[in-house]
Amino acid sequence: MVTLISKSPEDTLDLGRQWGREARAGQVIGLDGDLGAGKTQLVKGLAEGLGIRARVHSPTFALLHVYEGGRTVLHHLDLYRLNNPEEVFSAGLEDYLFNPPGVAVIEWLSRWAGPFGSAPPRNPWPAGFRWVDLEVVDELTRRIRYEDFGH
Ligand SMILES: Nc1ncnc2c1ncn2[C@@H]1O[C@H](COP(=O)(O)OP(=O)(O)OP(=O)(O)O)[C@@H](O)[C@H]1O
Ligand SMILES: [Mg+2]
């Protein structure tokens, strides 16, 4: 597991940009952590790194936003309003975890799969899966931990 400290929104944006430049079709990035920890901020950078010009918004009232025009399509999911894996399955979102078209980034993945250390939704994790946990340390500081699975 890798632990990074972000000291500003710009730091988090930069991390997202870097991941976006490295991302390949089929990759899934699951984000979890405190409210306002910077998950959407990371997605904004990710979209930029993929070469997407559209502005990324928090999909608060939509479960899914699709961003095209970059190196690969980006599917941005936010599971905050779902309660459990059954609801995720009922909403027809499973493919974004196991067989995503392009790159998928999923906020509040814990609605679906447990946090670090607990059982994955399937064993093994799908190839190219990155689990990310963001934690608020203070007003401008975030602890970002991530781990790659299925490589
Ligand atoms: N180091 C930092 N990294 C990211 N965001 C930061 C940082 N410091 C302060 N912030 C602020 O924290 C907020 C993060 O908001 P963001 O919408 O990205 O969080 P989120 O994790 O997506 O929240 P939610 O749980 O509501 O989806 C922004 O207002 C941003 O300016
Ligand atoms: Mg968000």
Is the pTM higher than 0.85?
yes
Q: Is 35 in the pocket of ligand 1 (CB under 6 A)?
A: yes
Determine the pLDDT at residue 151: 57
**Is the model's pLDDT at 66 over the cut of 80?**
yes
* For ion ligand 2, residues whose CB falls within 5 Å: 39-40, 58, 107
pLDDT tens for each residue of 32-49: 998 999 999 999 999 999
Angstrom distances, CA of residue 15 to CA of 52, 73, 138: 16, 19, 19
